[in-house]
Amino acid sequence: MCGVLGGDKAYEAVSEHLGVGHDETTEDGKFTLEHAECLAACDYAPVMTINYEFYDQVDADAAVDIVRRLQSGTSPLPSRGARLCTFKQIEMQLAGFQDDRPSTTGEGPAGTPTLAGVRLADSVGVSVPGYDPNTPIPAVRPKDPPPAPAKKNEKGAK
Ligand code: FES
């Protein structure tokens, strides 16, 4: 979807601005550009991510503007979800460490484009029992439940 809606133009503009191509890093070592086939966020296409945070519905000018703001030392606010973090912080998250920064999750219900399919299905009588699209996304990640007790071997093994 991103490609159809101009994502490739945004990628090309950023590539030209930074002077690097796919999987290449700028001479100063600050930016590595990656062309992604899909970021699983087609509802907000075209999207770009920086350290896995989303910038939605970007065109070429908006994408380059976001990069320019990073180059100037400011931290552009992602369109949703957590605030932009450093590469080290996101690497820690990906390694499975808890991220205790405030605002690491979004708040409120999912956005209108995300829920468009659910609402369309609902309008023709198709729905998932008990699902409420207005359910807010919790601001704090729920604690993992304790592990279930081990089951006894049903065959009576010792
Ligand atoms: S094609 Fe852009 S997120 Fe899927």
- What is the tens place of the pLDDT at every residue in 103-118? 666 666 778 888 888 8
Backbone dihedral angles phi then psi of residue 157, each to the nearest 5 degrees: -65, 155
Torsion of CA 39, 81, 63, 87, to 10 degrees: -80
What's the rounded Cα separation, in Å, for the pair 83 and 101? 9
> To which H or E segment does residue 156 belong?
none
Amino acid present at 145:
P
24 versus 152: which is more confidently predicted? 24
The answer regarding whether domain 7-94 maps to CATH 3.40.30.10 reads yes
- pLDDT band of 139, cuts 50, 70, 90: low
Ligand 1: distance of its center to the CA of 104 in Å? 22
Ligand 1: distance of its center to the CA of 151 in Å? 42
What's the rounded Cα separation, in Å, for the pair 145 and 99? 18
For residue 87, pLDDT over 60 is answered with: yes
Amino acid present at 14:
V
For residue 158, pLDDT over 60 is answered with: no
Domain positions in the chain are: 7-94
Ligand 1: distance of its center to the CA of 128 in Å? 25
Question: What does the block give as tokens for 73?
Answer: 């030392």
74 versus 157: which is more confidently predicted? 74
Ligand 1: distance of its center to the CA of 22 in Å? 17
For residue 30, pLDDT over 80 is answered with: yes
What's the rounded Cα separation, in Å, for the pair 19 and 80? 28
**Mutate which of 9, 38, 48, 114 to test ligand 1's pocket (most atoms within 8 Å of Cβ)?**
38
Ligand 1, residues at Cβ distance < 6 Å: 1-2, 7, 38-42, 45, 47
pTM over 0.85: no
Backbone dihedral angles phi then psi of residue 33, each to the nearest 5 degrees: -100, 135
